[in-house]
Structure 1
Amino acid sequence: MIALLLPSLEILELEKKDEADGEKESKPVTVNSDNQSLTMGDDTKYYKLDGNQLTIEDGDHNPNDMVVLTK
């Protein structure tokens, strides 16, 4: 949620821990608030913030790929 408050083209780091072997995977994350996109490595997602609800989806707008987070 904090990333959405950052200026356009902010570069962050996303870290994911693999539970099976304990290894960590790290990817650069670019937040572009102008077109409401998040680029994680080679993957681009689009977000929409509406009140307490954050919706993240692929560019193809497939409802099966949509993630909705509510505060």
Structure 2
Amino acid sequence: MTAKLYGTGPTWAAPAAEAQRITDERAAKGVDTLADHLLARVFAAMAADEPHALRAALVAVEKHVSTWINDLGRSPQ
């Protein structure tokens, strides 16, 4: 199996939009988490259909992963 270097484009566009909608809805209610934002960014990366969009999406994923790792143990669950 050979992996593509870019996201899968249209295959993941609808799930990416839904993940972002859910994240926005949760944020509006004040109940969003880093996990919500990370999943939205992962789906956005999967939906990317060109290198620059994928790179930007993966940088956003990395930012959210780093934030989550750095927050571990800092705040009560």
| Structure number with higher helix proportion | 2
Greater strand fraction, Structure 1 or Structure 2 = 1
- Identify the structure with bigger relative contact order (alpha carbons < 8 Å, sequence gap 6+): 2
Q: Is the TM-score greater than 0.5?
A: no
Answer with 1 or 2: which has the greater Rg.
2
Q: TM-score range by the shorter chain?
A: under 0.3
